[in-house]
Amino acid sequence: MLRRLNNALPVPIETDDELKLFLRFHHESGNILYYSDDNLGDTIVLDPQWLIDAFKSLITARMFCCRKPNIFEKWIKFNETAILTRELIDAIWEQKENIVFYEHRDLLLNYLEKLGIIAKPHQLPRVTNETDYYFVPCVLKTPPPDELLIQKESTDRRSTSKLCLTTELRFLPTAVFNKLLAACINRLALPESDAKHLIFCGCAVLDLEGNHTIHLYFFDHVIQIWITKFSSQKEEQSNRLCSQVYAFVLDILANGLHLSDHLKVFFKCQSSQHNSNENMFSEERLSKGTDVVCHCRAGRHVLQSNELTYYWHYAEEDPEEMLTDKQISSIAGNIGKEYQALAFKLGLSQVEIDHIISDFNNAVDRRTRILLRWRDKMKKKREANLDTLTKAMKAVGIDSRTVLESAECL
Ligand SMILES: [Zn+2]
């Protein structure tokens, strides 16, 4: 459709890549919404207000739901727990005045998810019964109880230091925290067992693999994160897991929410108070390796700088490990339409790409061939690894985490 309109112009945009660039420019300027993802790439939202109206219709549906007792119960539950079920969405959008939202509900929900307003809980790759509800962090009004936030060291649990993230100007809107929370619910947390969801206004405690929990807490423009390991054997937290969480959170804030130039990282000791931004030590200061003195609830005490940071840094034994054939074929099965741009980014020439396209009809075969060609070219440089591929995917707008997760490479 857009191509047809473009071709009708006196001076049309010449190539599809230029057309995409044009759309991205207007997306960045806030005029339209355009994402090149597989499930959204075929649409462009010309009036972003439409999404806001659709979302508003859900959170302001109290009066309508009031008249239908069984729906009202669900709406009250949504208002209290931020759990938005498909059933409730359908009931509200089926109304005559919302019918346009109902007609486009999957698309609208995909956009609201992409924007970090709603989040589908993390789904393990092999779990077949898909969760049919969303979390809507911005609906939450109840603050967390204090006892949830006081770190208790006991024989069955050990917590990391508190990772603190803010900006240079110490200004971070609540919406940023809510979007981070949505991303964590979607990507990190395991599905609920029998446990009640511990999600409050400005706070969440989520379960992670291997009997770990993560606390995310927002206080006065600072995001605080810490991880606790539960173990009868006094096992330590997994540094690999902590550093993955750290990298994930930094990626969301820096790239997903465009804070990269302004982000500041601090660390606090385990005993420090959650509802205070004192006793935070900056990453730069700790990198000097000198001792720091903390004046927290534990009284005045001295800490070696790596006592605060070591949880969050973990070096893989062989980060340069080359990708295997198996990894390549599963990654190829999960890359979308952007594979040509990726091939360019990985250093293949147009001639090489054209050859591969003409030699293979099947899309997955083409992508596999491209990755294998890249690996052959890179062999001597030992750069055909996950790290290089992840960077290239990010550079061309592929959601690398989803691809690698689906390919079970993470
Ligand atoms: Zn302390």
DSSP-H helix ranges across 188-314:
239-251, 283-287, 305-309
The Cα–Cα gap between 75 and 64 comes to 10
Check whether residue 49 and residue 171 sit in a common domain: no
Asked whether residue 101 falls in the same domain as residue 191, the answer is no
Ligand 1 centroid, distance to 273 Cα (angstroms): 9
**How many residues make up the chain in this entry?**
410
Write down the pLDDT at residue 400.
85
Are 86 and 24 in the same domain? yes
Centre of ligand 1 from the C-alpha of residue 300, in Å: 7
Statement to judge: residues 108 and 224 lie in one domain: no
Give dist(CA 303, CA 291) in Å, integer.
6
Same-domain check for residues 174 and 246: yes
- Report how far ligand 1's centroid is from the alpha carbon of 164 (Å): 14
Reading the block at residue 108, the tokens are 């609208």
Q: How far is the CA of 265 from the centre of ligand 1 (A)?
A: 17
Same-domain check for residues 164 and 296: yes
Do 72 and 179 lie in a common domain? no
CATH code, 394? 1.10.533.10
Q: Shortest CA distance to 121 belongs to which of 106, 136, 142, 139?
A: 136
Asked whether residue 262 falls in the same domain as residue 349, the answer is no
Distance 161 CA to ligand 1 centre (A): 10
Among candidate residues 265, 284, 312, the one where a domain is terminated? 312
Same domain membership, residue 390 and residue 243:
no
Cα(152) to ligand 1 centroid in Å equals 14
What whole-number distance in Å separates Cα of residue 141 and Cα of residue 202? 9
Structural domain of 330:
325-406
In a domain, 129, yes or no: no
Domain-embedded: residue 258? yes
From the list 152, 177, 370, the residue with the least C-alpha distance to 259 is 177
pLDDT at 382: 66
Q: What is the pLDDT of residue 242?
A: 94
Query: Long-range contact list for 372-378, CB < 8 A, 24+ apart?
Result: 372/325, 372/328, 373/348, 374/343, 374/346, 374/347, 374/348, 375/322, 375/323, 375/328, 377/347, 377/348, 378/347
> Within a domain: residue 138?
no
Tally the domains of the chain.
3
Between the CA of 301 and the centroid of ligand 1 the distance, in Å, is 6
Instruction: Quote the ligand 1 centre to 293 CA distance (angstroms).
Output: 8
Residue that has been written with the tokens 């938005």 in this structure:
84
For 209-291, where are the E strands, in sequence order? Answer: 212-219, 222-230, 263-268, 281-282
Question: What token pair was written down for 362?
Answer: 């099947």
Mean pLDDT, contiguous 10-residue spans, the chain (410 residues): 70 73 74 72 77 88 80 88 90 90 90 89 66 87 88 82 94 93 86 67 90 94 95 84 93 85 92 93 91 90 90 68 84 87 88 88 90 79 78 85 81
Alpha-helical runs (H) found in 29-153: 49-59, 62-66, 69-81, 86-93, 99-103, 105-114
In angstroms, the first-to-last Cα distance of the chain is 38
- State in Å: Cα 270 to ligand 1 middle: 7
Answer yes or no: is 46 within a domain. Answer: yes
Residue 177: C-alpha distances to residues 173, 243, 319 (Å): 7, 20, 31
- Cα–Cα distance, 218 to 279 (Å, whole number): 16
Rounded Cα distance, 355 and 145, in Å: 62
Q: Would 202 be classed as within a structural domain? A: yes
pLDDT at 125: 61
Q: Report the separation in Å between the CA atom of 215 and the middle of ligand 1, taken as the mean of its atom positions.
A: 18
Are 294 and 150 within one domain?
A: yes
- Are both 272 and 330 inside the same structural domain? no
Alpha-carbon gap, residue 93 to 96, rounded angstroms: 8
Q: Which amino acid is at 208?
A: L
Separation of 299 CA from ligand 1 center, angstroms? 7
Q: Quote the ligand 1 centre to 234 CA distance (angstroms).
A: 21
Which of the listed residues 67, 90, 114 is the one where a domain comes to its end? 114
Last residue of a domain, one of 278, 312, 346: 312
CA of 264 to the centre of ligand 1 (A): 20
Q: Identify the CA nearest to 331 among candidates 379, 370, 378, 357.
A: 370
Asked if residue 23 belongs to a domain, the reply is yes
Of 210, 256, 246, the residue nearest 402 (C-alpha): 256
Residues 308 and 329 occupy one common structural domain: no
Task: Residue 260: give its domain's CATH number.
Answer: 3.30.310.200
320 is a domain residue: no
Distance 303 CA to ligand 1 centre (A): 8
Q: Is residue 180 in some structural domain?
A: yes
Report the separation in Å between the CA atom of 279 and the middle of ligand 1, taken as the mean of its atom positions: 7
